[in-house]
Amino acid sequence: MDAAGTLANPGLWDILISRVLPQLTAGALGSLRGTCTSLRDLLDNDVSAPVWAAAAPHLLPLPTPASLSLQQPQEQQRSQQQHAAATSSYTNHVTKRTKRVLATCNVLTGQQQKTMVDACGGAQGTEAGRQREDFEFEYGSSSLASKFTKPGNRRYWIGGAAVLALVLLGVSFVWAGREPSVQPRNLPKQVLVPIPTAQLNSGHRIPLLGWGSFTLQGDRCRDATESALRAGYRHIDTAVTYGNEAEVGAGMKPHLEAGRVSREDLFVTTKLWSNQHARDTVVPALQESLKKLGLAYVDLFLVHWPVTDQHGPTLEPPMQETWEGMQDAVDQGFTRSIGVSNFSPEKIDEWFSNARIYPAVNQIEIHPHWRNDRAIQFCKDKGIHVTAYAPLSSPGNMPHFPNDLQDPAVLQVADTTGKTPAQVLLRWGLQHGGSVIPKSSSPTHQEENLGAVGWELSQDDFEAISNITTQLRYFEGSGWAYTHEGPWHNYEELWNEPMSPDQK
């Protein structure tokens, strides 16, 4: 798009006013100041007045193009006294108008306003001031508004729009820093497609590709949440024990307040920690999470682990009591669906067979080095949706375990499909069953991961990854989920299956 088309684009001015101007600083003004002289050169060029008229009404009350004429006025002889009065009048009008525009935007201090006015030639005695005096001598100096409406004075149009153009140039500095491109480099060109969803047994739908926040803290978590939503994610996963619910909420807030994302479009998951399993503490715990998230309800509330903070021979409080509290949360409208995380098939059968509300989701560890086939098949048979955490094998948190992103089988499939290893792993997870929630704080990686939807692995490629022989659970709970005190004393009791040879 050429410069004229850019300036005439109403959307660009909306961006300038709502998102760029509030970010301007004295440093940004300093960068822009040097462009002023070049802009004034436009006064000597034949710029089409209708172009400026199309752009300027977004900020200044300029006349319509119909009121313009490109005919030059005849030169008039004026006395030195008239010339001096004209120069003074013009200077005052430009200075007042420039300050009014900047003050209206409410983004600059008084000193910064003065800097901008001076940069635009508001002070006398500068080269710009002398150019302005020559201009006044040639065209006269009634009010600024009358000069804009006077036929033929296209230079006034350009002069008035110069301030706007000057600030507009700041987009290249400020906007680029605020909205960095998230298109991954050296990646195959992709067209983002809508994320598919699946229906839960609660009747609600869950997006199959989500974004996880495990280990993210502080501003990093807030910014990553904001960029994930901007990239297109609508399924957001957090938990009490992650310690980042408030930051996740802060990242969602600007999108919700600006209307870029509606609450109904989001699918937000949080989890109940092990010290809040008593029935009368479940709902208050969720209410505290909602306060931090800034939401009236979550879409999914999970029991994080089948353990409590009370070690002993039996699980206390009993899981049936905890589940009563989870059902209370549904009845009171604080969550739409409830489920579990890290629960074995046997524990689900034992505790929930007669539950009034059956678990909608079991969130468990799944990746090519831990396929978790038995749990997936059980949940499929019972109508429980499976969400895979650590679908990329969590190399950042488990550096001593195999890194699926570097597995030869995954790299081979990535090469043949023209996809990245991460996209291949996530695509495998989606085809293996359920939804996936990869964690990434990088906008580039977040958008890269979205490339897992809209295509499928061939059967041969899927089987090549599924046949990775090494199998071991990365998040196996040793030292806290099972201890010598009980109720789960070892791996086998917690997971209701023997430890794999690779685990030992």
Residues of the chain with CATH 3.20.20.100: 197-477
Asked if the model's pLDDT at residue 76 lies above 80, the reply is no
Asked if the model's pLDDT at residue 131 lies above 70, the reply is no
**197-477 maps to CATH 3.20.20.100:** yes
pLDDT at 47: 36
Among candidate residues 374, 311, 315, the one with its CA nearest the CA of residue 350: 315
DSSP letter (8 states) at residue 205: E
- Tens of pLDDT, residue by residue over 466-504, are 999 999 999 999 888 999 899 999 999 999 999 988 887
User: 454 with 408: CB under 8 angstroms?
Assistant: no
pLDDT at 96: 52
pLDDT at 55: 35
- Indicate the range of 146-155, 199-208, 252-261 predicted with least confidence: 146-155
What is the mean pLDDT of the segment spanning 13-32?
Answer: 43
Among candidate residues 220, 285, 230, the one with its CA nearest the CA of residue 252: 230
Q: For 421, how many CA atoms within 13 A lie in the half-sphere containing its CB?
A: 15
Residue 423: which region, alpha, beta or left (left: phi > 0; alpha: psi -120 to 50)? alpha
DSSP line for 327-357: HHHHHTTSEEEEEEES--HHHHHHHHTT-SS
Asked if the model's pLDDT at residue 365 lies above 90, the reply is yes
Could you give the CA distance from residue 148 to residue 62 in angstroms, rounded to a whole number?
7
Give the dihedral sign, CA 293/297/299/301: positive
Residue 334 pLDDT level (bands cut at 50, 70, 90)? very high
Would residue 242 show up in a list of annotated catalytic residues for this protein? yes
Among candidate residues 179, 183, 253, 241, the one with its CA nearest the CA of residue 216: 241
Asked if the model's pLDDT at residue 140 lies above 80, the reply is no
Give the dihedral sign, CA 254/255/259/262: negative
H or E stretch at 270 = strand 267-272
What is the mean pLDDT of the segment spanning 406-424?
Answer: 97
- The catalytic position among 139, 156, 233, 242 is 242
Considering 51-60, 139-148, 421-430, 473-482, the range whose residues carry the highest mean pLDDT is 421-430
pLDDT at 281: 98
* Collapsed DSSP state (helix, strand, coil) of residue 197: strand
Could you give the CA distance from residue 402 to residue 407 in angstroms, rounded to a whole number?
8
Residue 82 pLDDT level (bands cut at 50, 70, 90)? low
CB-based contacts of 126, cutoff 8 Å, min separation 6: 118
> To 10 degrees, what angle do helices 459-466 and 408-417 make?
160
- Tens of pLDDT, residue by residue over 159-204, are 556 656 555 655 444 444 333 333 333 444 444 568 999 999 999 9
DSSP line for 346-400: HHHHHHHTT-SS---EEEEE-BTTB--HHHHHHHHHHT-EEEEESTT--TTT-TT
Among candidate residues 127, 106, 112, the one with its CA nearest the CA of residue 18: 106
- Tens of pLDDT, residue by residue over 441-467, are 999 999 999 999 999 999 999 999 999
E strand map for 417-458: 435-436
Q: Which residues of 349-363 are buried (b: 16+ CB within 10 A; e: fewer)?
A: eebbeebebbbbbbb
User: 140 with 76: CB under 8 angstroms?
Assistant: yes
User: 120 with 163: CB under 8 angstroms?
Assistant: yes
H or E stretch at 464 = helix 459-466
